[in-house]
């Protein structure tokens, strides 16, 4: 068994729009009502995947969900044509593109039964995301149908679970036993704390993790109140490295002590608030980057262009790389359409440590498959969506036909 980290990126769906539905997500609120460019957004996402492949990383995809979500609207006694505008916007959201919220993943080296466990997130805090899980579950059960995996439905909705965006893993290498960190919120001031500790504990039990190698860490109220609606907006981990803002955690010292005790060679890389204010870190999505280890062994930070355009952030990055710190390289990708709705490079991907041979090959991509997907997107995705037009019949038909065309090209008729 050859275990690798595979990044499964969410393909930006044809209904990508700016409805400002996510309370606590400052970018989403700031751009509410603006015109979106679904075609450009999806191609940006595919180009990010190409950049990952160029680094030598394994790359997978998660395809768009059905939009509008007609089944969800039917449960509410209405349909996309008759629903009020706010409900229609919730049914048209393309937020499933942020695959970091699809599930929490525990690789086989960490689990008692030697399987890679995935628990689909319930996303119950936000209405526009709360109806994602059935389509996510169907997709993950297809992609990870092999005996090497165990795919679980969501934890009960009484406890909010937002998936891998609030989960980190430290290990000497991806294929070795690791320590899993579940980050939860208690209070976020005016904004909701989306990850409940009971949901995190339930996921850890389901995944048969050794309790002594699990850490539950509270996200700081200051971070949530500042717009860090998920932990991955203020912290990211990879192998031995935990990269975080000084104000990310409620009890930073306790977390560091536990990591030093449990993770051989642990490296903590902290960005001081005096050098990069929390507001700059969140605006630039410095920490919503992919921290990866390519085959050349050089830990690399894959950042959005907004990080390079924020002086305090870029100065810190240049100094760290020049100073021979644990992060050896910074690569910049353009995902502006996603960023404008509050999701950076890390939001767009779900990390799964597994043998790629165990994954349904339809969900693994190379440049040739990305070329084919680009052809479909250029031919079918709307060029622009104005928020006021979400219930326009011609637009709805185009969105549904676009998704069907992509699934047909990928041979995923089971998901139509």
Catalytic residue numbers?
162, 230, 347
Residues in CB range of 25: below 8 A, 6 or more apart: 227, 229, 342
Q: How far apart are CA 281 and CA 273, in angstroms?
A: 9
Bridge partner residues of 183 (DSSP): 217
DSSP letter (8 states) at residue 341 = T
Alpha carbon 296 to its chain centroid, in Å, reads 25
* Intra-chain end-to-end CA distance of the chain, in Å: 32
Radius of gyration from C-alpha coordinates of the chain: 20
Residue 44 sits at φ, ψ, to 5 deg, of -55, -45
SS3 letters across 359-402? CCHHHECCHHHHHHHHHHHHHHCCCCECHHHCCCHHHHHHHHHH
How many Å apart are CA 370 and CA 373, to the nearest integer?
5
Q: Rounded CA gap, 328 and 291, in Å?
A: 11
Taken in order 231, 235, 236, 242, the sign of the CA dihedral is negative
Residue linked to tokens 């969501």:
154
Strand blocks (E) in 81-232 = 103-106, 116-120, 149-152, 167-170, 179-184, 214-218
């Amino acid at each position: 068994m050859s275990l690798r980290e595979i990044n499964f990126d969410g393909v930006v769906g044809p209904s990508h729009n700016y409805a400002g539905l996510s309370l606590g997500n400052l970018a989403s609120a700031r751009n509410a009502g603006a015109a979106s460019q679904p075609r450009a957004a999806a191609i940006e996402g595919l180009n990010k995947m190409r950049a990952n492949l160029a680094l030598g990383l394994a790359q997978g995809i998660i395809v768009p969900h059905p939009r509008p979500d007609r089944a969800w609207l039917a449960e509410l006694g209405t349909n996309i044509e008759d629903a009020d505008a706010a409900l229609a916007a919730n049914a048209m959201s393309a937020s499933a593109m942020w695959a970091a919220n699809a599930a929490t993943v525990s690789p086989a080296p960490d689990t008692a039964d030697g399987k890679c466990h995935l628990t689909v997130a319930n996303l119950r805090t936000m209405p526009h995301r709360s109806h994602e899980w059935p389509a996510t579950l169907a997709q993950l059960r297809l992609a990870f149908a092999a005996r090497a995996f165990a795919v679980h439905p969501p934890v009960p909705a009484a406890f909010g679970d937002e998936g891998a965006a609030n989960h980190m893993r430290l290990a000497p290498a991806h294929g070795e036993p690791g320590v899993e960190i579940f980050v939860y919120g208690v209070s976020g001031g005016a904004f909701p704390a989306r990850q409940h500790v009971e949901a995190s504990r339930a996921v850890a039990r389901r995944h048969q993790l050794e309790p002594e190698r699990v850490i539950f860490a509270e996200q700081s109220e200051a971070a949530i109140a500042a717009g860090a609606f998920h932990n991955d907006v203020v912290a990211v981990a990879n192998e031995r490295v935990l990269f975080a803002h000084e104000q990310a955690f409620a009890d930073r010292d306790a977390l560091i002590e536990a990591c030093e005790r449990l993770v051989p060679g642990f490296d903590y890389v902290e960005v001081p608030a005096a050098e990069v204010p929390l507001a700059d870190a969140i605006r630039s999505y410095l920490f919503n980057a992919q921290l990866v280890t390519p085959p050349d062994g050089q830990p690399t930070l894959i950042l959005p262009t907004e990080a390079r355009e924020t002086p305090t952030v870029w100065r810190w990055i240049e100094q760290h790389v020049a100073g021979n710190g644990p992060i050896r390289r910074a690569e910049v990708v353009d995902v502006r359409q996603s960023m404008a709705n509050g999701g950076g490079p890390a939001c767009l991907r779900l990390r799964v440590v597994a043998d790629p041979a165990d994954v349904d090959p339809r969900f693994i991509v190379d440049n040739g498959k990305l070329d084919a997907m680009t052809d479909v997107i250029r031919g079918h995705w709307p060029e622009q969506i104005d928020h006021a037009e979400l219930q326009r019949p011609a637009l709805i038909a185009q969105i549904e036909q676009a998704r069907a065309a992509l699934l047909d090209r990928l041979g995923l008729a089971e998901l139509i």
